[in-house]
């Protein structure tokens, strides 16, 4: 967990990466195990809790930011474009998300990536997105 906290600014309860499973030059795989007491499950949806799709996207973005941070450049990783988000299945309390993000291209401070999330080997979401490394204003 310390290696994650050293690279990205997100902190619980808005941190959606528990551990890095594998890191290669242009690809990273991380995991996040969803707990029954996650605050978003309380209202999404009572009696049938599922992880909101926007938070699945955020898990990919955070994993991508960790990959960007592996570039050893200073700055704040922000999402600048979201494209082709597709949701195939749901994520429930107790599920372990396996999040894989690949860097397709880097131009200056722009990082073009695609990601996917699997639960138990089953694809539940995939997305194409772009991030940028910007100087923090604070």
Residues 18-29: pLDDT tens digits?
999 999 999 999
By the 8 A CB rule, do 125 and 135 touch?
Answer: no
Domain total for the chain? 1
Catalytic (active site) residue 44: yes
Catalytic: which of 44, 72, 114, 118?
A: 44
Q: What number is the average pLDDT over the span 71-82?
A: 82
Question: Please, which residues bridge with residue 122 across strands?
Answer: 119
Q: Distance (Å, rounded) from C-alpha 131 to C-alpha 72?
A: 15
Q: Distance (Å, rounded) from C-alpha 114 to C-alpha 101?
A: 6
Question: Please, which residues bridge with residue 102 across strands?
Answer: 27, 114
Q: What number is the average pLDDT over the span 27-42?
A: 96
pLDDT given at position 50 = 97
Give the domain extent around 103.
Answer: 2-134
What CATH number is given to the structural domain containing 21? 3.10.129.10
């Amino acid at each position: 967990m310390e290696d994650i906290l050293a690279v990205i600014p997100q902190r619980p309860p808005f941190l959606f990466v528990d551990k890095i499973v594998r890191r290669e030059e242009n690809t990273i795989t991380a995991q996040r195990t969803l707990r029954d007491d996650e605050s978003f499950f309380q209202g999404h949806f009572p009696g049938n809790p599922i992880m909101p799709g926007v938070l699945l996207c955020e898990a990919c973005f955070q994993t991508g930011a960790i990959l960007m941070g592996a570039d050893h450049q200073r700055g704040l990783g922000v999402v600048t474009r979201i494209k082709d988000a597709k949701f195939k299945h749901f994520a429930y309390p107790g599920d372990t998300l396996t999040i894989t993000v690949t860097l397709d291209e880097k131009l200056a401070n722009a990082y073009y990536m695609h990601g996917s999330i699997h639960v138990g080997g089953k694809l539940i979401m995939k997305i194409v997105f772009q991030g940028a490394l910007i100087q923090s204003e604070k």
